[in-house]
Amino acid sequence: MTGLPEVHPNKAFGWAAIDTSGVLSPFKFSTRGTGEKDVAFKVLYCGICHSDLHMIKNDWGTSIYPLVPGHEVVGEVTEVGSKVQKFKVGDRVGVGCMVGSCHSCDNCTNNLENYCPKMIFTYGAKYYDGTVTYGGCSNTMVVDEHFVVGIPENLPLDAAAPLLCAGITVYSPLRFYGLDKPGLHVGVVGLGGLGHLAVKFAKAMGTKVTVISTSPSKQKEALENLGADSFLVSRVQDQLRAAIGTFDGIVTVSAQHPLLPLLGLLKSHGKLVVLGVPEKPLELPAFPLIQGRKLVGGSMIGGMKETQEMIDFAAEHGIKADTEVIAMDYVNAAMDRLLKGDVKYRFVIDTH
């Protein structure tokens, strides 16, 4: 087991990657004392996001090792600081992708902490005190109250965990781009961790949902399990042609799908929302954009206020992620399977 010299007063234990192989192994570290605005909690479940896979292997070049991943974290409060108002010991709470921001810029004052230039990621980032943040693949966390959300009783904790990144990542753009009105026709490209939740949220908002996929293999799943209204195989020219100009909006999680066919599927004034980031720029034909007054927009997670709103919406509408719960020591095998897309649709580690 690897460990760090203890810079903080409380012992903590997790699994960390120590180099770009990305292999995780047991790791001892420490968490800070519970400050006056902090919430300390025992981690019960942690979802595995594809970003975790990129980070443990340093795909983006920003990783700090040892790296304890995990930013879809749920647990039970064990201690609260003297100025904490929203939570008490025993509460069910969650933490997503952020644990800090500047609190003073335009974005922060507009509940858009996720776009703050000084936003602090839940793991692999430098906290205000200069120490490195460690994520939810661990047994305990201490987080500023501002970045903690409450999980309602009727949401099972394991199925709620993925909402903290995947859920908010699809909920926020559906609202922001106005694709949340009953009767609109929304397409979802890519049926994985994000995509399956996009279908559920969009349906709950009253839209008609079509899953767009390159293969027919997920059709039964999409229609029977996830509740999509229809399924379009984008490689079948007849299906594609028949669907031209029929979508009010399309949310694409897939990073590599060419944009031109998707733009063609949109009605005039339609919106294409991209959530996946490909390595190279995409080709954007300007004519269809101009002639149909269409737009391509992006989005990244959501602010804290909206994240809580999303959790409450999910609780109200019974929206849960479809998960495969695993033990912590299965995590490396899970990462290998995730790389191949072999999961329906999120691994969630039972950390206790």
Partner 1 sequence: MSTTAEEGKQQKAFGWAATDQSGTLSPFNFSRRENGDEDVTLKILYCGVCHSDLHVLKNEWGFTSYPVVPGHEIVGVATKVGKNVTKFRVGDRVGVGVLVGSCKTCECCQQDLENYCPQIIFTFNSYNPDGTKTYGGYSDMIVVDQRYVLRFPDNLPLDAGAPLLCAGITVYSSMKYYGMTEAGKHLGVAGLGGLGHVAVKIAKAFGLKVTVISSSLDKESEAINRLGADSFLLSSDPAKMKSAIGSMDYILDTVSAAHPLLPLLSVLKVNGKLVTVGLPNKPLELPVFPLVFGRKLVGGSDVGGMKETQEMLDFCAKHNIAADIELIRIDEINTAMERLAKSDVRYRFVIDVGNSLSQ
Q: Interface residues with partner 1 (CB under 8 A)?
A: 106-107, 112, 115, 176, 245, 255, 259-260, 268-269, 274-278, 281-300
Which residue lies nearer to partner 1 by CB, 204 or 253? 253
Give the pair of three-digit tokens for residue 60.
């983006």
Min CB(62)–partner 1 separation in Å: 13
Which residue lies nearer to partner 1 by CB, 34 or 51? 51
Give the pair of three-digit tokens for residue 120.
């602090």
At what angle are helices 193-204 and 304-317 packed, to 10 degrees? 70
Min CB(176)–partner 1 separation in Å: 7
Which residue lies nearer to partner 1 by CB, 182 or 281? 281
Min CB(96)–partner 1 separation in Å: 16
Tell me if 283 sits within 8 A of 123, measured CB to CB.
no
Which residue lies nearer to partner 1 by CB, 4 or 240? 240
Min CB(279)–partner 1 separation in Å: 10
Min CB(133)–partner 1 separation in Å: 19
**CA dist., res. 51 & res. 40, Å (int):** 25
**CA dist., res. 259 & res. 298, Å (int):** 13
**Sign of torsion, CA 253 351 8 6?**
negative
Which residue lies nearer to partner 1 by CB, 74 or 174? 174
Min CB(180)–partner 1 separation in Å: 16
Which residue lies nearer to partner 1 by CB, 222 or 301? 301
Which residue lies nearer to partner 1 by CB, 294 or 346? 294
**CA dist., res. 196 & res. 310, Å (int):** 15
Min CB(40)–partner 1 separation in Å: 31
DSSP conformation letters of 139-169 = SEEEEEGGG-EE--TTS-HHHHGGGGTHHHH
Question: Distances in Å between the alpha carbon of 189 and those of 211, 257, 262, 281?
Answer: 6, 9, 9, 18
User: Which residues are within 8 A (CB) of 71 and not within 5 positions of it... i.e. 6 or more apart?
Assistant: 49, 51, 52, 95, 96, 97, 121, 122, 123, 135, 136, 164, 165
